[in-house]
Amino acid sequence: MSSTTTASRVALVTGGSGGIGRAVVERLAADGYAVAVHYAGNPARATEVADQITAAGGRAITVGADVADETAMGAAFDAVEAAFGGIDVVVNTAGIMLLSPIATLDLADFDHMHRTNVRGTFVVSQLAANRLRTGGAIVNFSTSVTRTQFPAYGAYVASKAAVEGITLILARELRGKDITVNAVAPGPTATALFLNDKDEATIANLSKAVPLERLGQPADIAETVAFLAGPARWVNGQVLFTNGGLA
């Protein structure tokens, strides 16, 4: 799908002000999409991203909401539709990761993480299922750790396994609507979320675990999202492991 055809398409990216979300926003804007940069708690950072896009000749707005709050997210969808006339693509990068062995995990952390990662994905997916235009795409986010089973990731992986289930079933439920639903499962990616609380030795070991012997970059993940958002009309109900070959 060329930029001439994506120029009329509109994307809402949750968690779009930082990390992978920001890379996705920048890539879709470069591909010609009008983009809505969603944020939960940092409007200044979202505005910075949107201003950068508009300064380069693109179209961008910001929308703020708790992804797990269906009323607030419904208002965010309203704002995007009012600004751009409709929505074609929803990319749900918003998520949190709190690591701990299962035996010692604070259950308040479990609840907090699952509210954002599971309920938030469900709310956004539900709204997208009802409001995307024909030819649309929903892209949710899982993790490659659903396969690698690293210790301390138990509660996080549980939330992302739920995201995969939501994604794969929704793809089948939208039969006949010409809306694709897929999930991206990144491997080790150099974002603040991933690098936080990891020492250099741990980061080096994770880099070496990948056959390409490097961490992924947010742009690597955004490339996969751009594929699913636009040209990949025959890819549906899938989880794409974008991880450099991590086993």
Dihedral sign for Cα 163, 25, 27, 7, please: positive
Backbone φ and ψ of 101, nearest 5°: -55, 145
CB 10 within 8 A of CB 36: yes
> Tokens representing 73?
């997210």
Tell me how far CA of residue 90 lies from CA of 86, 120, 141, 150, 207, in angstroms: 11, 13, 11, 29, 30
- As to burial, measured by CB atoms within 10 angstroms (0-12 exposed, 13-18 middle, 19+ buried), residue 1 is middle
Indicate the SS3 state at residue 201: helix
The one catalytic residue among 33, 39, 153, 156? 156
Our answer to whether residue 153 is catalytic in this structure is no
Backbone φ and ψ of 189, nearest 5°: -130, 135
The catalytic residue positions are: 156
